[in-house]
Structure 1
Amino acid sequence: MPSTYKSPTPLSLETEGALNVFNVNQLRAGIIRDLSQHPEGDTTGNIARRLEVDYRQVYTHVRVLVTAGLVVTDSDAVIPNGRRVVYSLKPGALEEQAAIYFRYLSGES
C-alpha cells in the first residue's frame, strides 16, 4: 500500500491544506466523501474503482468506519454467501462526529 493516497479528483489548495493541518488519512476521507456522494451506498469494489485504489484498501478503512459507527451495511454478515455487501453512511453520523471533533478542538470538551 502506498504511504500516501492521491485523490483522482484534484483537491483545491484550501482543502488540501485543511487535510494536512489535521493530518487526515486522505484515503479514509475519500471513502467518506464518496459515500456522501452515493447516499444509496455501494460496494467496496465500486468505491475502489472510483478512487482508483485496490478494493482491499477500501475494505480495511470501511471496516474501521463500521466499527466507529459512521458506516452501516445492508447485512450483518461479515462474509455474505454469494452476495455483495453495500456500505453507506449512517444518517447524521458524519455531522455528529464532526461536531464532537470541533468541540474538542475548540476546548469545549
Structure 2
Amino acid sequence: MFNANTLRAAVIRDLAQHPGGDTTGGIAKRIGVDYRQVYTHIKTLEAEGLVSAAGEAAVRNGQRVQYSIDLGRLREQGLIYMRYLSGE
C-alpha cells in the first residue's frame, strides 16, 4: 500500500489532518523535514491517485502548488492493506 514508510506515513497523516491541502513547504514545516523530501513522497502518492494538485493545468515550475489527499481513496487503500495483513 503506497510503499508506506515513516516519512510517507507522516505526509499522508498531515494531509489527512489538513483537508484543504497545503504546499510541500507547509507540510515539511509541520513534520520537520526538508520540502524536497516531502515532494518526493507527494509525487509517489500523486501517481497512485491518493494526492492531487490544485490547478493541474497550471505550470508548476516556481509556483506554490497546493496538494490535497483523497480521503475516500485513502480509506479504500487502507482496507485493502488490512485485508492483506490479515491474510484475506
Distance 1:104 1:97 in 2: 11
- Post-superposition shift, 1:106? 2.0
Q: What is the CA deviation profile of residues 34-88 of structure 1, one whole-angstrom value per residue up to 9, with x for unaligned ones?
A: 0011000000000001111110000000100000111111122585255311001
Asked if 1:72 is matched to 2:55, the reply is no
Q: Where do residues 21-100 of structure 1 align in structure 2 (5 Å cutoff)?
A: 24-77=4-57, 79-80=59-60, 82-100=62-80
Q: Would you say the 8 A contact 2:16–2:71 is kept in 1?
A: no
Unaligned runs of 5+ in 2: none
Structure richer in helix, relative to its length: 2
Amino acid at match of 1:47: I
- Post-superposition shift, 1:104? 1.4
Comparing both chains, which one has the higher relative contact order based on Cα–Cα distances under 8 Å and sequence gaps of 6 or more? 2
Amino acid at match of 1:93: R
Unaligned runs of 5+ in 1: 1-23
Structure of larger gyration radius = 1
- The RMSD of aligned alpha carbons is 1.7
Aligned to 2:71, what secondary structure does the other structure show? coil
Residues paired across the two proteins, number:
85
Aligned to 1:72, what secondary structure does the other structure show? strand
Q: Which moved more, 1:91-100 or 1:36-45?
A: 91-100
Runs of 4+ in 1 over 6 A off after TM superposition: none
1:18 counterpart residue number:
none
- TM superposition score normalised by structure 2: 0.86
- TM superposition score normalised by structure 1: 0.71
